[in-house]
Each structure stands twice: as structure tokens, then as C-alpha cells.
Amino acid sequence: MDPFRQYLDKKEKLISEYASGKVAFRLHKTTMTNLFRYGGNDARDRSGLRVDEFNQVIGIDPETATIDVEGMTTIETVLQATLRHNLLPKISPELKHITIGGAIVGIGIESSCFLHGFLHDSLIQAEVLLPGGETVICTADNEYADLFHALPNSFGTLGYVLRATLSLMHATQYVRLTNSNHENVSHYLESFEAHMDQPEGVFLEGLFYNRKELYLTSGKFIENARNPVNIYRGDPFYLKSRTATQLDMNTDDYIFRFDPDWFWNVPDHGVYNIFRQLSPRRFRNSSFYTHYTRLKRGLCDLLGIRNPTEEELIQDWVIPWHRAEEFIDFILDNIDIQGQPWVALPIVPKTRATLYPLLPSRSGSAIHEYRLLLFCRQTRSATGLPLHPDSGPTVF
Ligand SMILES: Cc1cc2nc3c(=O)[nH]c(=O)nc-3n(C[C@H](O)[C@H](O)[C@H](O)COP(=O)(O)OP(=O)(O)OC[C@H]3O[C@@H](n4cnc5c(N)ncnc54)[C@H](O)[C@@H]3O)c2cc1C
């Protein structure tokens, strides 16, 4: 059956289920959530709307480079479909099981953000199920434009995206990465600026460890690859890129480079390493990490060895570019992340979302005015973060 007809049927079924009054207006999905809530109140709540079936690509138009896709479709499914046409979402989240709808409302980012802004900046239209039980199609300038602009950072509070149309970029099957090391934070940031001024490729990202190891990686599409990297075996990707000056990758492996090890959170030593090297590939994905953390937490609870005041911290910061150097100095001086890398990801927003009101880029203005954001991620328990109210937060 025509995928759009199927979508209409699913939508009708969902709306009538909701109208029956037997289901709550909250998501019941079985794809992995990226909310690390352990109290059971998560997006898989069984009393909610059964939206799992909304997981198909409806259509791809190579002429206009656009995709029409159901809201709960994972980015993995999206990539499988678009790469057949040598197309790719302008921003493809690195974790395979993030859904398109989730990334629109939850701020999707990737190393192409310096060119294309956030994932929601490539949104053309969205069909949203509202709490009243009706659906509306919103665009940037139709009668539901206020909803359209308020979707990013709304996290499902305004309604659920059942279908979205997004613009795509042209791609090839392979990506070549070029990696350079810098030994000075100021030069490091200047090098980012030089790449943003005259992009040699479509991907730009930094991993840094200390003042002597500040790596900048740019990536471009290529037609043929030499020994593409295997992201599932051997060292986790961040270690592979730490030692190489050039790496070729399959395009989908590049996008999902951090997925098998959930960045660097699946331990890579001892028995875990045997698992990493030998387990079937279907276990080598970010959903495994979520299961792993739940299991670990459950076991520690059972054995009574979990300290309830301690929690693994997963933290992203969005920092204005002109404070980037100060911020990097601050974190390198104050926070110990036990030898693991920080991620620096320049983002140049294209629009100003109502609930995420960062200034969009202003082309033609002085360069420092439109380099807005540095994005840092630290994905492990850290010591030294001044988050406790007594120590007072440091505001950047
Ligand atoms: C630890 C962590 C790491 C992340 N890493 C990345 C990354 O590498 N790249 C990246 O781009 N983003 C990343 N994100 C952000 C991520 O894109 C958002 O959290 C996104 O919302 C996750 O989408 P999901 O499909 O997994 O949704 P879920 O985690 O299941 O849900 C997240 C929220 O979105 C709502 N929601 C889900 N689907 C819809 C829908 N169709 N319509 C309306 N609301 C919906 C849910 O109600 C919930 O409030 C990360 C987030 C976290 C917490």
C-alpha cells in the first residue's frame, strides 16, 4: 500500500483510540528513549498513545532533496532510505535510535551544525497531534506558525509530531576525515574559525583532552574509500581518531561513529572488551548502553550498594562563541573527566526557535557576531562541577 495511505490509516486509528478516552496523552513507544529516567515515568509509559507504528519513511524527493517521514522513525531508518539516493539529513543525530520527532522537539545536533544549524532548522513542515485530539500541519508561515516555531525544545509538551518534512543535503557513500592537533586553546578556536570561514567539507568537530591534545576533525564526502574504519570492533572510535591524521569511513558509520560505545560510556576493558569485540553487531548500539545502565542500577539497588546521592552525569553546554576560550580554560582547569574527551561542536543557528531563542546567524556581519555556539559534551561522572547551590554556579 502507498506509504502515505498507510500513514493516514494509522493516524485515523490513533485519533480514534485517543477519542475513546482510554489512553492518556503521553507517548507509549518501544524504541529506546534517550531520557535517562529511572523512576518508570518515561516515554515508554504503557497507558499512553501507541505511536510505534509511525516509524516509516513516507517518501523521498531527490529533485527537491526533501524527505517526508513519520515522527517515530529512527534516524537509522532514515539514513538507510536517504543514502540510497545519495542524500542525507542536514543534521543526523549520532545515536541510531533517536527518532525524527524526538530530535525536532529535543534539539538534534551533529558535526554539520556549523553549516546547517540545528536539526529543527531543516524542518519544512510538521503534522502534530494536539492534546485536544486533532492534528494540524504547521509550517514556518501558515496559520500554525506559532506552533512550528515553538516545537524545538518543547519535548512533547505541545503535542506529538506524527509526520515531518525535512530538507536533505547531497552526500556520497564515504566520508574522509582529516584530524589535526593543537596545543593552544586560542589557536584551536582560531582553527575552527578558519574552517568555518572556508569550509573544506561538511563536518567539523573537536575532541579535546587537555591543553596539549586539542584535536580538530573536518570531514568531507568522497567517492571511494581506502580501508574504511570498522566502528564496531577494536578501539572505540574516539581512540581511533586520536591517533590518526586521516580516516575514511562509510557515511553511515561516520554519522553513527559514537553509537556502538555510546560515545565512550560502554567500558572498553576486561569482560566488557570481550563483549565489544565478539558480540553480534545488533548488540553494539546505543540502546545497549541504556539497557546496561538500567541493569547496573537495578543490580546495585538489589545488592544495596548504590549511593542514592550519586548519579552519572551527562551534560551538554551551549556557550556563546566569544566566551568559548574562557569556558574551555575553565573546564580544563576545574573538571576531571578521567582522561576521556570533551566534544566541541560549533553550531550556527539558522532560525530563532521560540523555546530555544538563540540568535540565528547573520550572514554579511562581522565574523565574530555570527559564530555563536560552542557545544561541549561530557558524558561521565565528573568531579569539580560547580553545580551545588552553595558553591554557586558559574555563568557563561
Ligand atoms: C544523553 C543524551 C545524549 C544525546 N545525544 C544526542 C546526539 O548525539 N545527537 C543529537 O542530535 N541529539 C542528542 N541528544 C538530544 C536528543 O536528540 C533529544 O533528547 C531527543 O529528544 C531524543 O529523541 P528520542 O526520539 O530518543 O526521544 P525520547 O528520548 O523518547 O523522548 C524525548 C522527549 O521528546 C518527546 N518526544 C519524543 N518523540 C516525540 C514526537 N514525535 N513528538 C513530540 N515529542 C516527542 C518525549 O515526550 C520526551 O519528552 C541527546 C540527548 C541526551 C539526553
The string of pLDDT tens digits covering residues 138-160 is 999 999 999 999 999 999 999 99
Alpha carbon distance 159, 135 (integer Å) = 9
In this structure, the answer to whether residues 179 and 255 fall within a common structural domain is yes
Confidence of residue 61 (pLDDT cuts 50, 70, 90): very high
Residues contacting 176, CB < 8 A, separation 6+: 201, 219, 220, 221, 222, 225, 246, 247, 248, 249
pLDDT of residue 315: 73
- 188-240 tens-digit pLDDT: 999 999 998 888 899 999 999 999 999 999 999 999 999 999 999 999 999 99
Q: Is 27 helix (H, G, I), strand (E, B) or coil?
A: strand
Q: What spacing in Å lies between the alpha carbon of 113 and ligand 1's midpoint?
A: 17
In this structure, the answer to whether residues 226 and 302 fall within a common structural domain is yes
Q: Which amino acid is at 189?
A: L
In this structure, the answer to whether residues 36 and 99 fall within a common structural domain is yes
In this structure, the answer to whether residues 91 and 208 fall within a common structural domain is no
In this structure, the answer to whether residues 194 and 263 fall within a common structural domain is yes
Q: H/E/C letters for each residue in 201-216?
A: CCEEEEEEEECCEEEE
Q: Hey, what's the cell of 317?
A: 553546554
| Crossing angle of helices 185-197 and 324-334, rounded to 10° | 140
In this structure, the answer to whether residues 67 and 150 fall within a common structural domain is yes
Q: Is residue 71 within 8 Å of 135, Cβ to Cβ?
A: no
Q: How many helices (H) and strands (E) does the chain have?
A: 12, 15
Confidence of residue 370 (pLDDT cuts 50, 70, 90): very low
Q: Is residue 395 within 8 Å of 354, Cβ to Cβ?
A: no
For the chain, how many structural domains are there in total?
2
In this structure, the answer to whether residues 20 and 49 fall within a common structural domain is yes
Smallest CA-to-CA distance from 76 within 31, 116, 44 is with: 31
pLDDT of residue 200: 87
Q: Hey, what's the cell of 102?
A: 524526538
Please give the average per-residue pLDDT across 162-179, as a whole number: 98
In this structure, the answer to whether residues 130 and 272 fall within a common structural domain is no
In this structure, the answer to whether residues 66 and 130 fall within a common structural domain is yes
Of 170, 193, 209, the domain-final residue: 170
Of 170, 201, 220, the domain-final residue: 170
| Cβ(43) – ligand 1 distance below 6 Å | yes
Higher pLDDT, 376 or 232: 232
Smallest CA-to-CA distance from 258 within 245, 240, 275, 282 is with: 240
Alpha carbon distance 314, 210 (integer Å) = 19
Q: What spacing in Å lies between the alpha carbon of 105 and ligand 1's midpoint?
A: 7
In this structure, the answer to whether residues 32 and 73 fall within a common structural domain is yes
| Cβ(101) – ligand 1 distance below 6 Å | yes
Confidence of residue 357 (pLDDT cuts 50, 70, 90): confident
Of 153, 170, 187, the domain-final residue: 170
In this structure, the answer to whether residues 133 and 270 fall within a common structural domain is no
Q: What spacing in Å lies between the alpha carbon of 315 and ligand 1's midpoint?
A: 14
Determine the structural domain holding residue 324 and report its residue range.
172-396
**Residue to mutate (ligand 1; options 95, 138, 147, 255; most atoms within 8 A of CB):** 95
What is the pLDDT of the chain when averaged over all its residues?
86
| Cβ(100) – ligand 1 distance below 6 Å | no
| Cβ(313) – ligand 1 distance below 6 Å | no
Q: What is the CATH number of the domain that holds 19?
A: 3.30.465.10
Residue 50 β-bridge partners: 28
Q: What spacing in Å lies between the alpha carbon of 97 and ligand 1's midpoint?
A: 9
Cα end-to-end distance, the chain, whole Å: 53
Alpha carbon distance 103, 114 (integer Å) = 17
pLDDT of residue 253: 97
This prediction's pTM: 0.91
Q: Is the pLDDT of residue 365 over 60?
A: no
In this structure, the answer to whether residues 100 and 176 fall within a common structural domain is no
Question: Closest ligand 1 atom to the C-alpha of 29?
Answer: 30
Confidence of residue 374 (pLDDT cuts 50, 70, 90): low
